[in-house]
Structure 1
Amino acid sequence: MFVNTNTSALNAINQLNTNANRLEKSYEALSSGKRINSAADDAAGLQISVRLTAQSNALTRIEQNINDGISYAQVAEGALAEVSNMAQRMYQLAIQAANGSLTTTDKQALDVEFQGLKQEINRIANETEIFGRFPLLGGDNVPSLGDIFPISGGSGTFSSGIRSFAAIPAGSNNISLTLDSLGLDDDIQIFTQDGRHLVGTDLNDNSWQNNADNIPISTPQDVENNLFTPPNGFPPGASYDASNLNSGGPVYSPSAANSTSYNGMTISFGGDGDRTSPADGNNDGVNTGGTLIEAVHIDTTTEPLYVAVVGSGSFDLTVNYSNLGNTVNNDEPFKVFVATTPDGNNDDFIDIEKTASSSVDLGIAPLTIASASGAQTAISALQNALNTIAGYRSEYGASINVLSSAARTSMNSHENIVAATSRIQDTDYASETAKLAREQVLQQASQSILSQANIQPELALSLLNQ
């Protein structure tokens, strides 16, 4: 029996601390609902649960991606359903107009509705939008300046008209365009994608009103209807604005002389090399040996620009540049990302292709039923258009079915991964409450034993008192 060292008490204290630590872990597990609250609880289990949690979070986002894709396809297919209804009505009107019992006046009356339906098809194609995308608009048909001139200093002869000739990508530097109208009246025009007229002649100029396409242009509405179209690179809603127009200044110069600035771009233009602009009497061209030169220089492009050359003939164009920026493909499909572990291949995405459905894309833009021959032509064209629309709707239906299947697969995987994570990470309350009861009993027992162990030195003192 010892007085200085009470090993029994030390042992009881050790057991009491151990039981207290275990009791603390039980409290933590029961209050948090998690079996693993720190790496010390289960190092390997923590690593696995973190990986499974990340995969679960990814699947949650993928399910939303898929739902977005389904919404995109449903909006497009719904709009096409209405386009199909209008094309059916146009088909019916064409068959009616082809009948010999109708007079010319009757056919013209039918054509009024026919043309109105065609315009409504264009409106639906231009305004059907979801997530900032326009599924019924095709990509533009405008080549990049680098596609036409892959090497700086290149030149060529081209035809003018009411259309975008080339796109200058954002991020291009030190671009020079030198145009020779070859003795005719052709003028270079440059626009931003939202319709701001930066370089060229005002709408009163002869080159706008007497052009090779025989489409007189004299008002902003004329520009918006005939040039500012998706095939020419302009989005729906592009609005003509000439407030920043550089028309070359009061004195014509065969070099890029008059400078203006817009959105971080410095643009120099020499003026209309062909003739006087009636609006202001400026930019008189000087015909020297039949050569009429217009020159434009842009230091850098901070946004995409579109070049048109309007006029009545052909022109020579020479292009120089330091570098051209990257072009953007406006015809890309809507990509639904569905991969939790992407490998960089196409199977990371489910693509929903665009379905260009304007009257031009459907081949019905020039149709009229004001005459019997026109009505017969319209019947054949509308049959083809209806087949095209039906094919587009089938594609969207197939995409919806594929995405719905992908959603079910993702949700099933998500459910199983969450269950696996729960088995590793979450508290088993039946087991943990049993442990808690055990530790509470052991703690009380340890406290009792410690009290008894502390009495032992007093027994030694009782021997001295005898």
Structure 2
Amino acid sequence: MGLRVNNNIAAFNSYRNLQATDKALNSSLEKLSSGLRINKAADDAAGLVISEGLRSQIGGLTVAARNAQDGVNVAQTADGALGTATTILQRMRDLAVQSSNDTNDSASRAAVQKEITSLTAELDRISEKSSFNGVNLLDGTFAGKVFQVGYANGDTITFDVKSGAAAAATVAAVTEVFVSGATAFDNAAVSAVSSVTISGTTVSFATGGTAASAVEAINANATISANWTASVSGSSLVLTSKVAGNVTDAAVTLGATNIAGTTTQGVRAANAVKLDSFGSGGLGVAAVNLSTQTGAASAITTIDSALATVSSARAGLGALQNRFESVISSVNIAIENLTASESAIRDTDMAAEMTKFTRSQILSQAGTSMLAQANSASQNVLSLLRG
């Protein structure tokens, strides 16, 4: 081999190999320090595409698991509120059974009715105020709510909390007819007569009775009670319409005295019965009246129906809660498996990469030494020149 000084081929070769070794060494350092096999697209273009897709699935499923947990929490919140409603309805049923016994006088039944009124108001409060994150759960509006429980569009569960109230239960407004004037509807006036006629229907009661007993007899009449609910306010008989938008005066005769001419009328807004709500209207117990034996007996059936409605809703919530919990379990398994797949593609095998790094380190040291040797080899030419 000839000795040349213009081009040191051995040095070029050593330098080229040293560059390749240095590149491998830097790549190993990057992978070992980040823990990732793919740090940029150039490391593995196809692997990058696959791993990014897997990351999207994992991220979506992680959020979906939280969404499903929200579903569990909503079901538990609604079930807790309905549990209280069940307790209230059970108490109302006990009162109905108590009042249906004719050993109760009108005063006793009036006291029972006061508690019923209070319990009905609490049912309405629970229905209107039970909420999750500001969203009402039991007022009939929590219907068709969509929970995203997967990473893909359309992977959802629809959530309904409805009582199944009939459309006919909705009342927009009612009419109250106040019967007063020259002939008062009080104890003195009622004790002198034995009947009252309302819109052509006569109700008889014992002479010498009270205004309260007369009202009890009126409300026990099926024909009148189908359209009106009677009560006493001061010395006035108050007839509250049960028919939406009813603005027709009721012709009232107390005994032989026609007092319809002094009737005044006013329409008030009623609390609209929200369809599918778990309030007293939605459960059908708003009109429960335990002031008579007949009304109390009828109330037992009505309250039993309301209890069945609430129990059915709670069973549905329990089933849905179990479904959400199953979703959480399956989603967590999917996250685990997809994470393993993504890790196999994108993460660094630290043991294998450390082996490569050690090899590159040795080659780098050897390459540097050989480059120095190649550069010094051309110094032999000086020996020839010195002669």
TM superposition score normalised by structure 1: 0.57
C-alpha distance after superposition, 1:238-263 (max 9, x if no partner):
xxxxxxxxxxxxxxxxxxxxxxxxxx
Aligned partners of 1:98 and 1:375 also within 8 Å: yes
Aligned partners of 1:16 and 1:443 also within 8 Å: yes
Q: Pick from 56, 66, 69: which aligns with 1:67?
A: 69
SS of the residue corresponding to residue 377 of structure 1 reads: helix
Seen in structure 2, the aligned counterparts of structure 1 residues 49 and 36 have a Cα distance that, compared at 3 Å, is same
Q: Pick from 137, 145, 149: which aligns with 1:334?
A: 145
Distance 1:18 1:451 in 2: 17
Aligned partners of 1:79 and 1:124 also within 8 Å: yes
Distance 2:12 2:285 in 1: 98
Structure 1 segments of 4+ aligned residues over 6 angstroms from their partners: none
Distance 2:113 2:102 in 1: 15
Seen in structure 2, the aligned counterparts of structure 1 residues 396 and 366 have a Cα distance that, compared at 3 Å, is same
Q: 2:248 is matched with which residue?
A: none
SS of the residue corresponding to residue 48 of structure 2 reads: helix
- Equivalent positions of 1:207-286 (< 5 A) are none
| Distance apart, 1:349 and its partner CA | 3.1
C-alpha distance after superposition, 1:155-186 (max 9, x if no partner):
xxxxxxxxxxxxxxxxxxxxxxxxxxxxxxxx
SS of the residue corresponding to residue 16 of structure 2 reads: helix
- Equivalent positions of 1:9-408 (< 5 A) are 9-139=11-141, 332-342=143-153, 348-355=156-163, 356-408=277-329
Q: Pick from 354, 372, 377: which aligns with 1:451?
A: 372
Aligned partners of 1:72 and 1:130 also within 8 Å: yes
Aligned partners of 1:352 and 1:399 also within 8 Å: no
Residue 438, structure 1, aligned to residue 246, structure 2: no
| Distance apart, 1:58 and its partner CA | 0.5
C-alpha distance after superposition, 1:314-357 (max 9, x if no partner):
xxxxxxxxxxxxxxxxx632211123222xxx753333343421
Q: What is the identity, as a one-letter code, of the residue corresponding to 1:17?
A: Q
Aligned partners of 2:162 and 2:278 also within 8 Å: no
C-alpha distance after superposition, 1:200-221 (max 9, x if no partner):
xxxxxxxxxxxxxxxxxxxxxx
Distance 1:133 1:379 in 2: 33
Aligned partners of 1:334 and 1:353 also within 8 Å: no
Aligned partners of 2:38 and 2:347 also within 8 Å: yes
Distance 1:340 1:459 in 2: 71
Q: Which moved more, 1:103-112 or 1:86-95?
A: 103-112
Q: What is the identity, as a one-letter code, of the residue corresponding to 2:85?
A: V
Computed over aligned residues only, the root mean square deviation of the Cα atoms, in angstroms, reads 1.3
Q: What is the identity, as a one-letter code, of the residue corresponding to 2:21?
A: N
Q: What is the identity, as a one-letter code, of the residue corresponding to 1:110?
A: V
Distance 1:399 1:24 in 2: 54
TM superposition score normalised by structure 2: 0.68
Unaligned runs of 5+ in 2: 164-276
SS of the residue corresponding to residue 354 of structure 1 reads: coil
Distance 2:282 2:162 in 1: 12
Distance 2:137 2:11 in 1: 81
Distance 1:137 1:348 in 2: 23
Distance 1:135 1:333 in 2: 12
| Distance apart, 1:60 and its partner CA | 0.9
SS of the residue corresponding to residue 335 of structure 2 reads: helix
Distance 2:160 2:22 in 1: 61
Unaligned runs of 5+ in 1: 140-330
Aligned partners of 1:335 and 1:352 also within 8 Å: no
Distance 1:347 1:357 in 2: 29
Q: What is the identity, as a one-letter code, of the residue corresponding to 1:442?
A: L
Aligned partners of 1:16 and 1:446 also within 8 Å: yes
Q: What is the identity, as a one-letter code, of the residue corresponding to 1:340?
A: Y
Q: 1:282 is matched with which residue?
A: none
Q: What is the identity, as a one-letter code, of the residue corresponding to 2:158?
A: I
Distance 1:377 1:136 in 2: 26
Distance 1:371 1:336 in 2: 48
Q: What is the identity, as a one-letter code, of the residue corresponding to 1:118?
A: T
Q: What is the identity, as a one-letter code, of the residue corresponding to 1:23?
A: L
Q: Which moved more, 1:100-109 or 1:88-97?
A: 100-109
| Distance apart, 1:133 and its partner CA | 2.1
Q: 1:423 is matched with which residue?
A: 344
| Distance apart, 1:370 and its partner CA | 1.6
C-alpha distance after superposition, 1:15-71 (max 9, x if no partner):
111111111011111111111000010001100010000111100111111111111
Aligned partners of 1:338 and 1:350 also within 8 Å: no
| Distance apart, 1:14 and its partner CA | 0.7
Identity %: 36
Distance 1:335 1:120 in 2: 29
Q: What is the identity, as a one-letter code, of the residue corresponding to 1:124?
A: I
Q: 1:150 is matched with which residue?
A: none
Distance 1:444 1:68 in 2: 59
- Structure richer in helix, relative to its length: 2
Distance 2:27 2:299 in 1: 81
Aligned partners of 2:67 and 2:149 also within 8 Å: yes
Aligned partners of 1:107 and 1:370 also within 8 Å: yes
